[in-house]
């Protein structure tokens, strides 16, 4: 295996507390090492910024609703496709890139690990086919549990051990990574055209509340000691006043402690928090609830969040929050796709244009930036766009520009048609903070890796960790002449390494490496009850057989990497 | 106005994609430079000069440039693609995408044109002396934003699916039109002086359809709304007025529901 | 001695039944019996055992006879054909697995071809409609567990998807539908009195070519607006009754097929049917689902989409993907004389395309990958038989509701036969050499 030395770069590594010192980073046999021989290939990083490869904690990049988005939006690819070129397969899709393009674009920006945010378990084969066809980056996928019939029945009876056994089974048969919860209870209600908009609305027939579902899944997650915490998209997304539902949801984590061997401290991850931080009573008096939400999260240290930044693009919304998408098409009258999945979940897709001339969109943009600027601990707040919901992930460099430069924010604010409203309904105008490179590394590498339970493996440059390294054409010693230079620098890396293989050089793909599919193998005590329940539901209610559900052959997951969890010692 | 004349001399074995034949691309170039522009035959790329003889020279801007296309261009697609200004005359029949995505200028097709002419037109004038194929002035697949401005005149007949997802602008067909006129439209006007078949104004939110000849089958979503005198294209006549599509969503302006309007000459 | 293989997936239609049982000889070389499949599926398995099966590639000679050639010869002909063609068409893909489809995509990209699947003559118009208006749908288990209103519009599952009604849509007793077919009301819309129509609670026997008008009338009826006395041959009163029956259910589903996708208006019929479904969601819960024909046409659409961005009729001739049925679709390409080489796999355009699209195939270099002798193989220059996918080789397939199911291999193919995937890999590797690619 090759040896490399990345010389003389300004290193930002929160895992080792390195804040911009000039250091050499040595790579050997796929890992970061203390030193390498004189024959090592030299990458000159003088005047450049060096960080670990970035970790995407939440994006919709692989699976049935992503592909439904591709199928039903040919206009997303009109005049914007990229041709086959050298190593690269052809690509297309402005808001929903094809799988090859997804891998290349992430890698070119220095991302080396990404999590598919919501996997409908019945469709796990589809998710894994797309993951397999996404080059370079390691990926995992989160199966959804918050509307699953088994979970609803077990938690109604407060059977945590059974819930845990079911989760372990599900993670194994779907090669899943974590416990994802989307609109708990509300998506099952949606199968009848209904919803749960507060944490106390009971689910039709199953008669359990979202609060009970969330609380029970946190407990089951900690019972198992999974690498990641329960990851939640709360009820009432996107409605003015929803911040109250968000606080009710966050409160469910009070008193709960993380139990795991992976270094994770949190028990709840609130995702795309921008969409859940709205005050006001209607679109007319709509205002930011970012302060209320970040105040709470700042004080409650067992919670992590990601932002969900609006990028002001034409994009495509897609989520397992089926009723929300139906609501959205009622507002913007754009084409609506929906799929209810038996016993498990649903998904909806609707295009959306975040126009700078619309005050609501401008306020959403501001809220997405207020949140990371108001969060005190960058290790607990991660940058996302909930791709493609608030914007395409290819806009991360632009989001970084806004966070690192008040001038860039002001330029955008002055360009809004309803600038006055943005300033009156949010506090974005008064936030002077500019993110430092160290904080950026915390929010895009070390933080998400730790919360995902991957903190020993990636997100940092400590010897022994995977050699996932990104080198940016950004000189921390030079003052920034034009904020757009920040966006440019973070768009295309000078060099990127994935597991010790150089995959990007001068912004171009030069190799694709051997990507891995990360999944969690949790062992639990034998549970005949759960096995019997699974057998029974397959015979009576599923539309496919259990044997066919469970068959996930090698060709779907050609290079698996299992994080092992032993929950059998639980009493 | 400077004129460039391109004459097809070597017919392609398959079809040609001539998306570079527009005043915008020719502007500022000599005949020799124009002959070097790319055309595509399947997966091969060649200079324009391989198939066309080029003479004359372009103006400095698109607005100053006129293109005359001669020879048998029945197998040439994309003539006038994305043009924003200037003029173009196609002396005989052409294939698909004539004037597709045009945003200005004047395009005259002396023969007939194939499908997808004037896709998503934003402005300009397109005149077709022969017949127009299907999807005249329609939106691209999946796009809810169709033709939004400009004027199309077809002296012959038009095919099916004219003005799909139309938002603005005007289409006039002197002859007949096939099924599906202004499906899903949210604005704009289509006038058919000949006859039509069926499925006019299906799923229409807003917009105007005027038919002088017959309508074989009316959509049930179009409700009779009396009669009205109109002057259309210089002709004054009485028209039966229908509003619809009553099955579709509609906006309200000042508390009053705004329907699409269909007028059929009595 | 024999062994019984359970949970076998039937590789014929979009119903993709996965409860089939197959009895094979102990050495795995002979397929003996099939249980649980319908008549069509049973035959799909059993006919693989035909004694007179063609097991090696054959080249069409000048005098019309066929001469056996080796797989290597076939690879060479195919790769050369694709390397030289200016605009080859690679069509079909619907009766093979996703793994083969993926290799096919690589080949299409390298040779800068047009690629298309059988949606071009089937539910392609559905895809156009979905692109214009969206798609509220669900998995078949949701129908089984919740549906109390079932509509078959322009399709005849009794003949075309024989086990659909017993596995999913009419007869099963699901979680919320314990009374089975008694829980459900069936509306059939079809100009013919089909065997499916005979089962209906309401049969709307509409005039041919007027589905768009009738669907529009339903939407008008939902809103309580004025209707003419008769629409599409159906009295307004019956239309309003049908509208009320739909609204009064608690979970409805519209299944539809060629009766609307390939009759006058095509995609507009589906567009308006989806609009009907969307409207009904203001009153109750309703979904709509296409009755996909070939067992993996859905899979081909999925693989095209995640790799190229479009579900069918994909033009790669410029080195990047473009899409516009009418321009990039197979029948138009063939009838207009736009292509100069034809590669067919997992389909039978010779039988299903208009004759004006089939004739050109006889006059160009052409390859047909198919275990059978078909009108397509008959008109092609090279015929390459392969193992039956889903019988003699496994691989992933997508059901009509987009659920992926991994088909199984239940019996060995005849000695020395290749699978689609194996043949395509050889073609790809040879093509890369010819094109000098990395």
Is there a single domain that holds both residue C136 and residue C248?
yes
Residue C325 contacts B where some CB pair is shorter than 8 Å: yes
Is there a single domain that holds both residue A67 and residue A128?
yes
Runs of H (alpha helix) within A175-209: 186-190
Domain range for A362: 54-311+357-430
How far C302 CA lies from chain A's nearest CA (Å)? 7
Burial class (CB in 10 A: 0-12, 13-18, 19+), A469: buried
Are A365 and A399 within 8 A, CB to CB? Answer: no
| For testing contact with chain C, the best of A340, A343, A552 (most C CBs within 10 A) | A340
Instruction: Look at residue A524 and tell me if it is in a domain.
Output: no
Cα distance between the two ends of chain C? 50
Q: Could you state, in chain order, the average pLDDT of each consecutive group of 10 residues for chain A (571 residues)?
A: 93 98 98 96 98 98 98 97 94 98 98 98 98 98 98 98 98 98 98 98 98 98 98 98 98 98 98 98 97 98 98 98 98 98 98 98 98 98 98 98 98 98 97 98 98 98 98 97 97 98 97 97 97 98 97 90 90 58
Q: Write the CATH number for C105.
A: 3.40.50.740
| Sign of torsion over alpha carbons C10, C13, C18, C19 | negative
**Chain C residues close to B13, C-beta within 8 Å:** 86, 340
Is there a single domain that holds both residue A74 and residue A158?
yes
Residue A332 contacts B where some CB pair is shorter than 8 Å: no
- Residue C438 confidence (pLDDT): 45
Written as six digits, the tokens of A240 are: 């003015």
Is the CB of A75 less than 8 angstroms away from the CB of B140? yes
Give SS3 for A481: coil
| Sign of torsion over alpha carbons A119, A124, A129, A131 | positive
CA distances B29 to B26, B59, B68, B70, B86, Å, are: 6, 8, 15, 19, 14
Query: If you measure CA to CA, which chain B residue comes closest to C111?
Result: B43
Contacts of C80-84 spanning 24+ positions with Cβ under 8 A: C80/C434, C81/C341, C81/C343, C81/C365, C81/C366, C81/C367, C82/C107, C82/C110, C82/C111, C82/C113, C82/C341, C82/C343, C82/C427, C82/C431, C83/C111, C83/C431, C83/C434, C83/C435, C84/C341, C84/C365
Is there a single domain that holds both residue A165 and residue A243?
yes
Distance of CA C169 to the CA centre of its chain: 19
Are C260 and C211 within 8 A, CB to CB? Answer: yes
Is there a single domain that holds both residue C62 and residue C105?
yes
Pairing of strands C149-153, C185-189: parallel
**Chain C residues close to B178, C-beta within 8 Å:** none
Are B159 and B178 within 8 A, CB to CB? Answer: yes
Residue closest to A237 by CA, chosen among A313, A318, A120: A318
**Check: complex ipTM more than 0.95:** yes
Interatomic CA distance for residues C431 and C428, integer angstroms: 5
In chain B, which among 242-261 make CB contacts under 8 A with chain A? 249
Is there a single domain that holds both residue A421 and residue A494?
no
Could you count the other beta carbons within 10 Å of the beta carbon of residue B8? 20
Is the CB of C320 less than 8 angstroms away from the CB of A542? no
Instruction: Look at residue A107 and tell me if it is in a domain.
Output: yes
Residues 6+ apart with CB under 8 A from A528: none
Domain range for C34: 2-48
Confidence of residue B200 (pLDDT cuts 50, 70, 90): very high
Pairing of strands C252-256, C234-235: unpaired
Are C328 and C314 within 8 A, CB to CB? Answer: yes
The model scores a pTM over 0.90 = yes
Is there a single domain that holds both residue C272 and residue C245?
yes
Instruction: Look at residue A63 and tell me if it is in a domain.
Output: yes
Contacts across the A-B interface (CB distance below 8 Å): 16
Is there a single domain that holds both residue A296 and residue A196?
yes
Burial class (CB in 10 A: 0-12, 13-18, 19+), C322: buried
Pairing of strands B235-244, B223-232: antiparallel
Is there a single domain that holds both residue A10 and residue A43?
yes
How far C57 CA lies from chain A's nearest CA (Å)? 28
pLDDT of A165-189, one tens digit each? Answer: 999 999 999 999 999 999 999 999 9
Query: If you measure CA to CA, which chain A residue comes closest to B186?
Result: A333
Is there a single domain that holds both residue A303 and residue A258?
yes
Is there a single domain that holds both residue C159 and residue C244?
yes
Interatomic CA distance for residues A533 and C313, integer angstroms: 45
Is there a single domain that holds both residue C284 and residue C306?
no
Is the CB of B140 less than 8 angstroms away from the CB of A78? yes
Runs of H (alpha helix) within A133-242: 149-156, 160-174, 186-190, 210-224
Is there a single domain that holds both residue A86 and residue A147?
yes
Report, as ranges of residue numbers, the positions in chain C whose pLDDT lies below 50: 438
Runs of H (alpha helix) within B10-168: 23-26, 31-36
Query: What is the domain count for chain C?
Result: 3
Is there a single domain that holds both residue C244 and residue C278?
yes
Q: Write the CATH number for A467.
A: 2.30.40.10
Last residue of a domain, one of C265, C290, C315: C290
Q: Write the CATH number for C284.
A: 3.40.228.10
Instruction: Look at residue A109 and tell me if it is in a domain.
Output: yes
Instruction: Look at residue A334 and tell me if it is in a domain.
Output: no
Is there a single domain that holds both residue A155 and residue A136?
yes
Q: Write the CATH number for A88.
A: 3.20.20
CA distances A213 to A195, A567, B260, Å, are: 15, 21, 48
Burial class (CB in 10 A: 0-12, 13-18, 19+), A568: exposed
Instruction: Look at residue A379 and tell me if it is in a domain.
Output: yes
Is there a single domain that holds both residue C379 and residue C280?
no
Residue C207 contacts B where some CB pair is shorter than 8 Å: no
Instruction: Look at residue A569 and tell me if it is in a domain.
Output: no
Instruction: Look at residue A441 and tell me if it is in a domain.
Output: no
How is chain B split into domains, by residue range? Answer: 125-266
- Residue A86 confidence (pLDDT): 87
Is there a single domain that holds both residue C329 and residue C375?
yes
Is there a single domain that holds both residue C207 and residue C303?
no
Candidate from C19, C109, C284 with C-beta closest to A89: C109
Query: If you measure CA to CA, which chain B residue comes closest to A336?
Result: B142
Residue B143 contacts A where some CB pair is shorter than 8 Å: yes
Mapping DSSP onto H, E and C, the string for chain C reads CEEEEEEECCCCECCCCCCEEEEEECCCCCEEEEECCCHHHHHHHHHHHCCCCCCCCEEECCCCCEEECCHHHHHHHHHHHHHHCCCEEEEECCCCCHHHHHHHHHHHHHHCCEEEEHHHHCCHHHHHHHHHHEEEEECHHHHHHHCCEEEEECCCHHHHCCCHHHHHHCCCCCCCCCCHHHHCEEEEECCCCCCCHHHCCEEECCCCCCHHHHHHHHHHHHCCCCCCCEECCEEHHHHHHHHHHHHCCCCEEEEECHHHHCCCCCHHHHHHHHHHHHHHCCCCCEEEEECCCECCHHHHHHHHHHHHCCCCCEECCCCCCEECCCCCCHHHHHHCCCCCEEEEECCCHHHHCCHHHHHHHHCCCEEEECCCCCHHHHHCCEEECCCCECCCECEEEECCCCCEEEECCCCCCCCCCCCHHHHHHHHHHHHHHHHCCC
Query: What is the domain count for chain A?
Result: 2
pLDDT of B46-82, one tens digit each? Answer: 999 999 999 999 999 999 999 999 999 999 999 999 9
Contacts across the A-C interface (CB distance below 8 Å): 187
Residue A74 contacts B where some CB pair is shorter than 8 Å: yes
Is there a single domain that holds both residue A217 and residue A290?
yes
| For testing contact with chain B, the best of A329, A333, A353 (most B CBs within 10 A) | A333
Query: If you measure CA to CA, which chain A residue comes closest to C405?
Result: A548
Could you count the other beta carbons within 10 Å of the beta carbon of residue B243? 20
Last residue of a domain, one of C273, C290, C307: C290
Is there a single domain that holds both residue A394 and residue A481?
no
Is there a single domain that holds both residue A406 and residue A466?
no
């Amino acid at each position: 295996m090759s040896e490399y030395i990345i010389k003389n770069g300004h290193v930002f590594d929160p895992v080792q507390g390195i804040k911009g010192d000039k250091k050499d980073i040595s790579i050997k046999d796929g890992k970061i090492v203390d030193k390498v021989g004189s024959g090592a290939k030299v990458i000159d990083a003088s005047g450049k910024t060096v960080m670990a490869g970035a970790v995407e904690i939440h994006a919709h990049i692989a699976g049935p609703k992503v592909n439904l988005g591709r199928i039903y939006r040919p206009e997303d690819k009109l005049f914007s496709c990229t041709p086959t070129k050298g190593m690269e397969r052809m690509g297309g899709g402005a808001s929903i890139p094809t799988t090859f393009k997804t891998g290349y674009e992430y890698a070119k920006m220095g991302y080396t690990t990404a999590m598919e945010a919501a996997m409908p378990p019945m469709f796990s084969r589809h998710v894994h086919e797309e993951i397999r066809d996404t080059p370079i980056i390691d990926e995992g996928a989160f199966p959804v549990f918050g509307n699953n019939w088994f979970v609803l029945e077990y938690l109604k009876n407060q059977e945590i051990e059974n819930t845990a056994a079911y989760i372990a089974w599900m993670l194994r048969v779907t090669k899943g990574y974590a416990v994802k919860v989307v609109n708990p209870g509300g998506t099952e209600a949606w199968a009848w055209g209904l919803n749960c908009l507060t944490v106390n609305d009971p689910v039709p027939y199953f008669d359990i509340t979202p609060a009970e579902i969330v609380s029970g899944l946190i407990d089951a997650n900690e019972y198992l000691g999974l690498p990641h915490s329960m990851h939640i998209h709360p009820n009432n997304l996107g409605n003015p006043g929803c911040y109250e539902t968000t606080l009710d949801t966050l409160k469910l984590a009070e008193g709960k402690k993380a139990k795991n061997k992976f270094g994770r401290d949190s028990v709840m991850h609130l995702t795309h928090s921008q969409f859940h931080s709205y005050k006001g009573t209607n679109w007319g008096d709509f205002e930011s609830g970012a302060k209320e939400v970040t105040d709470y999260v700042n004080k409650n240290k067992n919670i992590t969040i990601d932002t969900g930044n609006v990028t002001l693009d034409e994009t495509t919304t897609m989520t397992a929050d089926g009723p929300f998408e139906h609501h959205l098409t009622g507002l913007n009258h754009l084409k609506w796709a929906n799929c209810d999945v038996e016993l498990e979940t649903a998904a909806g897709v609707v295009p959306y244009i975040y126009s700078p001339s619309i005050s609501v969109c401008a306020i959403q943009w501001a809220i997405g930036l207020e949140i990371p600027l108001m969060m005190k601990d960058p290790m607990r707040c991660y940058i996302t766009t909930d791709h493609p919901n608030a914007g395409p992930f290819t806009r991360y460099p632009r989001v970084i520009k806004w966070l690192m430069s008040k001038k860039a924010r002001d330029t955008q604010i002055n360009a809004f048609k309803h600038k006055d409203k943005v300033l009156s309904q949010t506090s974005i105008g008064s936030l002077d903070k500019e993110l430092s490179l160290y904080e950026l590394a915390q929010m895009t590498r070390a933080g998400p890796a730790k919360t995902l339970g991957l903190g020993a493996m990636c997100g940092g440059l400590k010897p022994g960790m995977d050699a996932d390294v990104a080198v940016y054409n950004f000189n921390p010693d030079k003052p920034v002449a034009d904020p757009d230079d920040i966006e440019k620098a973070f768009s295309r890396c000078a060099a990127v390494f994935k597991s010790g293989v150089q995959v990007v050089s001068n912004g171009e793909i030069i190799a694709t490496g051997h990507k891995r599919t990360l999944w969690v193998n949790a062992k639990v005590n034998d549970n005949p009850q759960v096995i019997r329940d699974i057998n029974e539901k397959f015979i009576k209610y599923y539309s496919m057989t259990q044997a066919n559900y469970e068959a996930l052959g090698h060709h779907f997951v050609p290079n698996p990497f299992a994080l092992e969890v032993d929950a059998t010692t639980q009493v | 106005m400077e004129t460039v004349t391109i004459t097809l001399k070597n017919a392609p074995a398959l079809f040609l994609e001539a998306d570079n034949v527009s005043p915008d691309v020719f502007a500022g170039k000599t005949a020799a430079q124009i002959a070097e522009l790319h055309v595509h035959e399947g997966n091969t790329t060649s200079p324009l000069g391989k198939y066309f003889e080029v003479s004359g020279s372009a103006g400095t801007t698109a607005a100053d440039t006129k293109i005359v296309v001669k020879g048998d261009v029945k197998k040439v697609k994309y003539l006038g693609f994305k043009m924003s200004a200037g003029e173009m005359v196609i002396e005989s029949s052409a294939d698909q995408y004539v004037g597709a995505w045009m945003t200005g200028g004047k395009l005259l097709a002396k023969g007939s044109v194939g499908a997808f002419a004037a896709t998503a037109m934003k402005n300009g004038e397109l005149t077709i002396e022969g017949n127009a194929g299907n999807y005249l002035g329609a939106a691209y697949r999946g796009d809810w934003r169709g033709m939004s401005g400009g004027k199309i005149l077809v002296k012959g007949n038009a095919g099916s699916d004219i003005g799909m997802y139309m938002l603005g602008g005007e289409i006039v067909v002197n002859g007949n039109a096939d099924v599906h006129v202004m499906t899903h439209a949210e604005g704009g006007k289509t006038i058919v002086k000949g006859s039509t078949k069926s499925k006019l104004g299906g799923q229409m939110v807003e917009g105007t359809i005027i038919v002088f000849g017959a309508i074989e089958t009316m959509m049930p979503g179009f409700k009779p709304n009396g009669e009205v005198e109109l002057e259309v294209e210089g002709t004054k006549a009485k028209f039966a007025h229908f509003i619809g599509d009553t099955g579709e969503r509609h906006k309200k302006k000042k508390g009053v529901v705004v329907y699409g309007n269909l007028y059929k000459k009595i | 001695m024999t062994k019984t293989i359970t949970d076998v997936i039937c590789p014929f239609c979009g119903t993709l039944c996965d409860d089939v049982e197959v009895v094979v000889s102990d050495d795995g070389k002979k397929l003996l019996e099939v249980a649980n499949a319908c008549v069509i599926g049973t035959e799909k398995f059993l006919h693989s055992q035909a004694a007179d099966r063609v097991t090696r590639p054959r080249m069409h000679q000048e005098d019309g006879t066929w001469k056996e050639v080796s797989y290597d010869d076939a690879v060479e002909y195919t790769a050369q054909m694709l390397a030289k063609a200016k605009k080859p068409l690679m069509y079909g893909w619907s009766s093979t697995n996703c793994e083969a489809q993926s290799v096919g995509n690589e080949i299409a990209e390298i040779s800068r071809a047009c690629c298309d699947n059988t949606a071009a003559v089937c539910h392609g118009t559905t895809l156009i409609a979905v692109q214009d208006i969206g798609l509220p749908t669900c998995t078949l288990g949701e129908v089984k567990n919740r549906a109390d209103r079932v509509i078959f519009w322009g399709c005849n599952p009794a003949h075309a998807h024989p086990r659909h009604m017993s596995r999913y849509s009419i007869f099963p007793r699901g979680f919320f539908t314990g009374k089975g077919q008694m829980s459900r009301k069936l509306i059939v819309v079809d100009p013919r009195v089909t065997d499916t129509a005979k089962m209906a609670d309401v049969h709307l026997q509409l005039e041919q070519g007027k589905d768009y008008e009738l669907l529009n009338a339903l939407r008008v009826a939902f809103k309580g607006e004025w209707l003419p006395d008769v629409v599409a041959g159906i009295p307004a009163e019956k239309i309003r009754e049908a509208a009320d029956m739909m609204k009064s259910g608690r979970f409805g589903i519209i299944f539809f097929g060629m009766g609307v996708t390939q009759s006058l208006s095509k995609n507009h019929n589906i567009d308006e049917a989806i609009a009907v479904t969307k409207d009904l969601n203001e009153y109750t819960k309703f979904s709509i689902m296409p009755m996909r024909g070939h067992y993996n046409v859905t899979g081909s659409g999925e693989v095209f989409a995640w790799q190229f961005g479009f579900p069918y009729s994909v033009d790669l001739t410029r080195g990047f993907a473009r899409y516009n049925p009418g321009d990039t679709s197979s029948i138009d390409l063939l009838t207009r004389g736009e292509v100069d080489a034809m590669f067919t796999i997992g389909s039978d355009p010779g039988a299903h395309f208009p004759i004006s699209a089939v004739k050109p195939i006889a006059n160009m270099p052409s390859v047909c990958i198919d275990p059978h002798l078909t009108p397509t193989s008959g008109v092609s220059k090279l015929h390459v038989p392969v193992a039956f996918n889903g019988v003699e080789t496994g691989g992933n397939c997508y059901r009509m509701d987009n659920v992926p199911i991994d088909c199984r291999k239940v019996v060995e193919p005849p000695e020395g036969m290749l699978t689609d995937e194996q043949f395509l890999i050889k073609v790809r590797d040879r093509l890369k050499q010819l094109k000098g690619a990395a």
